[in-house]
Structure 1
Amino acid sequence: MADCSSVSAKSMHVPSLMLLLRFRRNRLALAYHDQGEAEKESAAMVARLIALLVLLFCAGGAVAETRVTLADGRSYLIAVPEGVKQPPLVVMLHGGGGNGAQSARSSGMTAPALRRGFAIAYPDGSGRSRMKTWNAGHCCARAALTRMDDVAFVLRVADDAARRFGTDRSNLFVAGMSNGGMLAERIAAERPREVRAVASVAGVLDLARIKPRGAVPVLHMHGTEDEMVPYAGGRGALGLTYAAAEDVLTAFLQAQRRGLTKTRKVIDQARDGMQTEKFTYASSSGRPEVVFYRIVGGGHAWPGGSRGRSTTRDINAPHEIFAFFKAHLRK
């Protein structure tokens, strides 16, 4: 029988469930030898149903995020790996018009986080509906118009998670998609000492208003055919103007204030009409400090995700992000 207890949440008591199912299976096996054909068929059917329930349980994910509401009413979801003392924390920021629960479902970040010993939090942006946004500078929507201090909010989530769940505050990582990626890069630019590394997919730093203040490891993924946040910069589909992705790359490279070795790798294993160019800027020790993925033909999409023809399968965003974050863990 399949065992999915290795990826579980404390509130679900997965090991206990698995023990119960194994006990039922063993009883059925013993009964099988002592019964007639009709009873054997019935026992076999029940065994198959139990196996199916386990498979459905595993497929549905044995992970349950816990929702936390802060004193100011803002909230986040969090999943914490079992048996890991002071796990590093990744704060995953949803795109504009999304929310934490939606990001937890669609990003595919929770399972790889727990498998690698990371805790992961999904905070909600601000807004009057379930369609939330972040203040990343000039974007986006109500959060930017009301000048919500979302940089402080994300750091408050990290502080709260350390206090409630024992995460390692000195090992904080931030990732985001689109508007969430913009905020991740804003945090890196404005509060470089607070984070170990950040990752942005299809979201650029607001260079017109914000400049990096110190060296922070940054991973950035961007499609050359992105219509929402154009790769070359300029006006996007919703009327906002953005910096060019490569200008943001240059700004973070300049903030490193040291010589880095550049390498280029072409990835085209999916044969999906797109091609990914991976540029790695490594320190003298070989550690990647800045990694930039130019997805030729890619759109405003999460690499490896399930939506749209402009979503490349050449790379998997969670896999690449966690490999990068792992390289920057404080020991």
Structure 2
Amino acid sequence: MEVLGPVTMTFEERNRTFYYSLPEHMEPCLPVVFCFHGAGSSARHHMKVTAFHKLSEDHQVITVFPDAVHFDPSDRMTKQWNEGREKNTAFQRKVNDVGFVLELIEWFKQRYPVDESRIYATGFSNGSAFSLRLGLECQDVFAGVGGVSGPLVKDLAEKFQWSKPMPMLFIMGTGDKLVPYDGYYDSTYMIDQLLSAEKTVEFFVASWGDSGNNHYERVMEDEEFSIIKNSYPQEEEKVVFYSIEGGGHTWPGGPLSQASSLTGKVAGQLDATKILFDHLTKIQR
């Protein structure tokens, strides 16, 4: 496995950076997994937390870790993906992050043997909400999308109509103190204008024309966490939702150092990286 970067490219008069990983001995056709960091974070930190890049060699995949635009170095929260929220600095500054990602795909297609039927988007928090936006607006590009702790923006859902089914996997903890799991906001939450976890999943389920045929399974339970898996449609598992009772605003299976009084607990019993990767990469557009 080889990790390259930071690579800088100019897109719409801004310098944009990204990292990526490649298998040392590449097969003729490689899937691509985009991995988007959360608000106030970075591509390098997201690599450390998720370890998606370590899958490149064994699974013959390209993983890409882009950086969002950072407007105010004194305020880390001004570094966010434009996921469609009006309160987001990137939205207010009209940052074309969707266009940037599409340009990145072209960059990789010019240099490596990309399997265009197997391009995926994943992310954490703000990066998750942005991945879901890509699933809506770029249905002819992405074979599937997924994320952790970042539901879909309400305004996008209200204005959007599906033209084809979109596979999706979503993971969220009920103990999230930054983004409300149930979609009900008060002054204690940092982020608003998002759907609840369940409404987000239901929105993607609707792309398959079936909202009632699901499989419910309690996959793990101990003193700290109870993990429930819901799959839609029941037989095919095109849309999957892992609800972590007691889980915080953290990446399940990632470093325990993520845990704090602000972010909540880390569910080490669930490997979000493996679950997202296994679910998405078996799907072809």
TM-score normalised to the size of structure 1? 0.75
Q: Which residue of 1 aligns with 2:16?
A: 74
- 1:281 corresponds to 2:232: yes
- Give the direction of change, closer, same or farther, for the CA distance of 1:212–1:114 in structure 2 (3 Å limit): farther
Q: Which residue of 1 aligns with 2:4?
A: 65
Aligned partners of 1:212, 1:324: CA distance in 2, in Å?
Answer: 24
Cα deviation, 1:229-282, whole Å, max 9, x if unaligned, reads 11100326225342111111111111112577421221226x350111011113
**1:244 partner amino acid:** S
- Give the direction of change, closer, same or farther, for the CA distance of 1:203–1:123 in structure 2 (3 Å limit): same
Q: SS in structure 1 opposite 2:91?
A: helix
- 1:263 corresponds to 2:210: no
Q: Which residue of 1 aligns with 2:266?
A: 311
Aligned partners of 2:244, 2:139: CA distance in 1, in Å?
Answer: 27
Structure with the higher helix share, 1 or 2: 1
Aligned partners of 2:87, 2:128: CA distance in 1, in Å?
Answer: 12
Q: Which residue of 1 aligns with 2:45?
A: 102
How far did 1:140 drift?
A: 6.1
**1:288 partner amino acid:** E
**2:32 partner amino acid:** L
Q: Which residue of 2 aligns with 1:294?
A: 243
Please show how residues 174-185 of structure 1 align to structure 2 within 5 Å. 174-185=121-132
**2:169 partner amino acid:** L
Q: Which residue of 2 aligns with 1:90?
A: 33
**2:122 partner amino acid:** A
Aligned partners of 2:220, 2:178: CA distance in 1, in Å?
Answer: 24
How far did 1:65 drift?
A: 2.6
- Give the direction of change, closer, same or farther, for the CA distance of 1:260–1:152 in structure 2 (3 Å limit): farther
How far did 1:71 drift?
A: 2.6
How far did 1:149 drift?
A: 1.5
Cα deviation, 1:137-166, whole Å, max 9, x if unaligned, reads 116632122121211211221121121233
Q: SS in structure 2 opposite 1:96?
A: coil
Q: SS in structure 2 opposite 1:82?
A: coil
Q: Which residue of 1 aligns with 2:170?
A: 220
Please show how residues 1-331 of structure 1 align to structure 2 within 5 Å. 8-9=1-2, 64-72=3-11, 73-83=15-25, 84-128=27-71, 129=73, 131=76, 132-138=79-85, 141-210=88-157, 211=160, 213=162, 214-235=164-185, 237-238=189-190, 240-258=192-210, 261-268=213-220, 271=222, 273-282=224-233, 286-306=235-255, 307-308=258-259, 310-329=265-284
TM-score normalised to the size of structure 2? 0.86
Aligned partners of 2:254, 2:227: CA distance in 1, in Å?
Answer: 15
Cα deviation, 1:35-70, whole Å, max 9, x if unaligned, reads xxxxxxxxxxxxxxxxxxxxxxxxxxxxx3333222
How far did 1:196 drift?
A: 0.3
Aligned partners of 1:116, 1:229: CA distance in 2, in Å?
Answer: 33
Aligned partners of 1:272, 1:259: CA distance in 2, in Å?
Answer: 32
**1:70 partner amino acid:** M
Aligned partners of 1:239, 1:134: CA distance in 2, in Å?
Answer: 13
Q: How many equivalent residue pairs?
A: 266
Structure with the higher strand share, 1 or 2: 2
Q: Which residue of 2 aligns with 1:20?
A: none
5+ residue gaps, structure 1: 1-7, 10-63
Asked which structure has the greater CA Rg, the reply is 1
**1:125 partner amino acid:** A
What percentage of aligned pairs have identical amino acids? Answer: 24
How far did 1:287 drift?
A: 3.1
- Give the direction of change, closer, same or farther, for the CA distance of 1:239–1:80 in structure 2 (3 Å limit): closer
Aligned partners of 2:5, 2:145: CA distance in 1, in Å?
Answer: 23
5+ residue gaps, structure 2: none
Q: SS in structure 1 opposite 2:10?
A: coil
Q: Is the 8 A contact 1:93 1:122 kept in 2?
A: yes
**1:326 partner amino acid:** T
- CA-atom RMSD, angstroms? 2.1
- Give the direction of change, closer, same or farther, for the CA distance of 1:240–1:260 in structure 2 (3 Å limit): closer
